[in-house]
Structure 1
Amino acid sequence: MTARDSSAQIEQQAAIWAARLDARALTPAEQADLDAWLAGDSRRLGAWAMARAALARVELAQASGNTHAPARIPWLNRRFLLRGAGMALAASAVGAVALGLWSEGDHYATGKGEMLRIALSDGSIVNLNTASEMDVQFSDQQRRIVLRGGEALFAVAKDASRPFVVIAGDARVRAVGTAFTVRHEARRPVDVIVSEGVVEVSEPKAAPVRVSQGMRAMVDPRAATPIETAAIAPDTIEQELYWREGKIAFRDTTLASAAAQFARYNDEHIVITDPVLAQETITGLFIANDPRGFAQAVAESLGVVTRIDAGRIILSPS
């Protein structure tokens, strides 16, 4: 039996189709693929309509005179749901994002808590995560992206004559047609996760390494082995990609690490006053821009105290 796509997968695919159609005319083969995709599941037509409506809002903003900056739509519908007891925590929300449609040679950036989806002129799609920036530099010989900081997911359109290359610090990731994420942060190894296809990861001090679907590469020029690779489970890849929906997923994650993740998306930081409490673990799915909801869930689950003080969310033992 064929696995049924989740709503998130359908929404993502609808956004990709809508962005491609708006960026350029579909080929007859692509149009046939789109028609078949829409006919394959009754939920897809509604997702397709929503994706087209999102594009219309972007075009309306551009028509009003804002032609140089991406339109941004804040994440909506903050809801928190506590299921069961103990560490079983979950949250859900509808994540609305911007769709950017611009030509190559541009610079893109997101602020803290923002996410941007970009349709490039070659048909590739880029999802840019919070506090990230990149440059697009296309030529007749190469499609080049410079990820200056942050995190991005690349769904690369196939074009064997023009390799798709992402530069992130000392790391160089080369692909022809694939999907992968690159995370580039100060004082941390560059993290590459391949969710589809194969990429080639290189670094000035090391030979290129092929990284295939279901694998991760960590690039650190200071390490004895500058490029380390490892297999990564499908559910872990899914967990890593929840940011596309404005969510953060944790699995047996310490509260200290969870607080650091929330700090990537919010100016209001979570502070844990007790080192023992900081090492307690949490599992669940949470809204990235709702640190107060997360703190309240932790308080209810672990029996700790939460309070707001000078723009900080304080978690303390009861």
Structure 2
Amino acid sequence: MPASPDELRRVAQAWVARLASGEATDADAWQVAAWRARSPAHEAAFQEAARLWSRLAPALRTGGAPAPLPLRRSLANRRGLVIGASLAASVGGSLVVGRRQGWLPGLEELDADHRTGTGERRVLALPDGSRVAMNTRTSLSLRFTAEERRVLLLGGEASFAVTADPGRPFVVASAGGETQVLGTVFNILMEPGAVSVTDLEGRVEVRSSGGMQLGPGEQVSYDAAGLGPRRRVDPVAVSGWQQGLLVFRDRSIRSVVAEINRYRPGHILLLNEAAAERQVSGVFHLDRLDQVVTHLLQTAGLKARALPGDILILR
């Protein structure tokens, strides 16, 4: 049964409030795009909600979180021209902010050779016999030549099992850094502001304003400032996603929530700072993410509130 106009308005208001909050993620961007594309009625409801939300910019700048406004057709008709202009400015600004914060995909990601959606995992066989496992919301492109095998990791996470070919180096470029190998297995995770490289077998060299060689079980992260320190990690926890598992060992609830958000539609907001740094452990199936949420609720005594658009607030 098609959604009623009232239901469309409520969901559209929730989406606009989320996108204007400054905490939206790329999962939100994909979800709202899909929702708007369902029908002309969905798109019209979103546009009307955005026009009304533009009136709340002063409250948003001061950190307010007003409840969705009831729609009044007379108001929309009377101020349609002015609000329409505001909408163009606010949506344009939101797109810029969204790309900077990482919740909207960049043009390179949209034009990638290979992409996975939310919760999707895929294994690619590369032309040289190497294999790459792509995790949720991952984008990459291939640039193979007779002299070099180059992969551009544009977003997300991927694990590479590389076929040895000393005459053709295998290089993964991501966020200004490079990882080069001759024959090994390694994992690369792109996060907002940083990239983490984990060596699982063999050896790998990571370059970003300097260089560092890693052995099995070693990890390094880099950002705009260059390489961080070398550290030992649990390879099972790093590569668990390839077996459909999330493995947490003494991880903060904040980091666990961030991890869950990569795999589920919508978004989980953690608003309990006292519980955010509490350490938790566990092994969970990626197709049962609700069990992770239940574990967090029971462990930290959190309360959950569900909102439209698969948004979940934990307090």
Q: TM-score, normalised by structure 1?
A: 0.59
Larger Rg: 2
1:177 partner SS: coil
CA offset at residue 277 of structure 1? 2.5
Q: Does 1:149 align with 2:158?
A: no
2:228 is paired with a residue whose SS is strand
Instruction: State the match for 1:198 in structure 2.
Output: 203
Answer whether contact 1:266 1:289 (CA < 8 A) is retained.
no
Q: Which residue of 2 aligns with 1:312?
A: 311
The aligned counterpart of 1:183 is 189
Alpha-carbon distance in 2 for matches of 1:217, 1:283: 22
What is residue 288 of structure 1 aligned with on the other side?
286
Of 264, 269, 272, 2:270 maps to 272
- The reply on whether 1:123 has 2:126 as its aligned counterpart is no
| Aligned 8 A contact 2:163 2:184 in 1 | yes
TM-score of the pair, normalised by structure 2: 0.60
Contact 2:275–2:300 under 8 Å retained in 1: no
Distance 1:254 1:201 in 2: 27
Does the Cα contact within 8 Å between 1:211 and 1:229 map onto a contact in 2?
Answer: no
Partner Cα separation in structure 1 for residue 219 and residue 238 of structure 2: 11
Where structure 2 has 5 or more consecutive residues not aligned to the other structure, the ranges are 1-111
Unmatched segments (≥5 aa) in structure 1: 1-105
Whether contact under 8 Å (1:199, 1:211) holds in the other structure is yes
Task: Render the CA deviation track for 1:18-73: whole Å, top value 9, x for unaligned.
Answer: xxxxxxxxxxxxxxxxxxxxxxxxxxxxxxxxxxxxxxxxxxxxxxxxxxxxxxxx
SS of 2:156's equivalent? strand
CA RMSD, 1 decimal = 2.0
Identity of matched residues, %: 30
In 2, Cα distance between the equivalents of 1:286 and 1:143? 35
Partner of 1:255: 253
Q: Which runs of structure 1 show a deviation greater than 6 angstroms over 4 or more consecutive aligned residues? A: none
Alignment CA distance shift 1:229-1:198 (3 Å): farther
Alpha-carbon distance between aligned partners in 1 of 2:205 and 2:161, rounded to the nearest angstrom:
15
CA offsets 1:264-315 (integer angstroms, 9 cap, x no match): 1112322334221233322101233543222223334444433423332333
Spell out, residue by residue over 1:112-137, the C-alpha distance to the aligned partner (whole angstroms, 9 max, x if none): 11111011121111001111111112
Greater mean deviation of Cα atoms: 277-286 or 142-151: 277-286
Query: How far 1:260 sits from its partner (Å)?
Result: 1.0
In the alignment, structure 1 residue 220 sits paired with structure 2 residue 223: yes
Q: Distance in 2 between matches of 1:108 and 1:315?
A: 34
Tell me the distance in 1 between the aligned counterparts of 2:313 and 2:224.
Answer: 37
**Among residues 221, 239, 244, which one is paired with 1:246 in the alignment?**
244
Q: Which has the higher strand share?
A: 1
